[in-house]
Amino acid sequence: MASKLWGGPRRNQALSILLEGYLDSDTGAIRAVVANNLTDTMIAGSVFLSAPTGWNMVPSHFGYELRAGEFLETEVIVLREQGGDSEGSIVARTEYQGRMYQDLLTTGKAAMALSVSRSGDEIRAVVSNQGAPPPKGISN
């Protein structure tokens, strides 16, 4: 199972970065997407991917040069060593004008749980944190 922990809004962001896919086995493919949200400026940079020890990714980084409104999708092959961690996170990061943009794809138990109940006209939604430590693969 893969879960998204963050998905930021496009407004006021020069670019967006997104990881998509599922990592339910030792080998898989995900997509890394970087998009230029600006309307009049070209942007260029590099996306760097990180993961827990024992996970290998090809490519582990890639460059982009995007005109206004363009996006780039890159397939990333993920190989996990047998007997290694089956849970963890892949992090994609890029920087533009001194600001860090990142996204995270987590495998294993979902980080958040949602329960919804209804009683008459009242609807109650409860979001709870499923785990205390940060996902593996995240470094500051």
Q: Tell me the per-residue pLDDT of 80-136, one tens digit each, with 9 for 90 and over.
A: 887 666 678 899 999 999 999 999 888 765 566 778 888 888 888 887 765 545 555
Domain assignment present for residue 48? The answer is yes
Domain that holds residue 14: 2-108
User: Within a domain: residue 130?
Assistant: no
Domain membership of residue 123 (yes or no) is no
Query: Is residue 73 within 8 Å of 31, Cβ to Cβ?
Result: yes
Helix, strand or coil, per DSSP, at residue 130: coil
Report pLDDT for 137. Answer: 52
Establish if 93 belongs to a structural domain.
yes
3-state secondary structure 18-87: EEEECCCCCEEEEEEEEEECCCCCCEEEEEEEECCCCEEEECCEEEEEECCCCEEEEEEEEEECCCCCCC
Give the pLDDT score at 61. Answer: 96
Q: In terms of Cα–Cα distance, which of 18, 30, 135, 17 is closest to 79?
A: 30
Say if 23 falls within a structural domain. Answer: yes
Residue 50 lies in a domain: yes
Question: Which residues touch 35 (CB under 8 Å, ≥6 apart)?
Answer: 15, 16, 17, 18, 66, 70, 71, 72
CATH number at residue 48: 2.60.40.10
Whether residue 138 has pLDDT greater than 70: no
Which DSSP symbol is given to 134? P
Six-digit token pair at 69?
């409104």
More confident residue, 44 or 22: 44
Predicted confidence band of residue 6 (pLDDT cuts 50, 70, 90)? very low
Is 137 within a domain?
no
Over the chain, what is the mean pLDDT? 80
CA torsion sign for 5, 7, 12, 15 is positive
Q: How confident is the model at residue 55 (pLDDT cuts 50, 70, 90)?
A: confident
pLDDT in tens, 14-43: 899 999 987 766 778 899 999 999 989 999
Give me the pLDDT at residue 5, please: 36
Q: Is residue 80 situated within a structural domain?
A: yes
How many structural domains are present in the chain? Answer: 1
Find the mean pLDDT for residues 40-47: 95
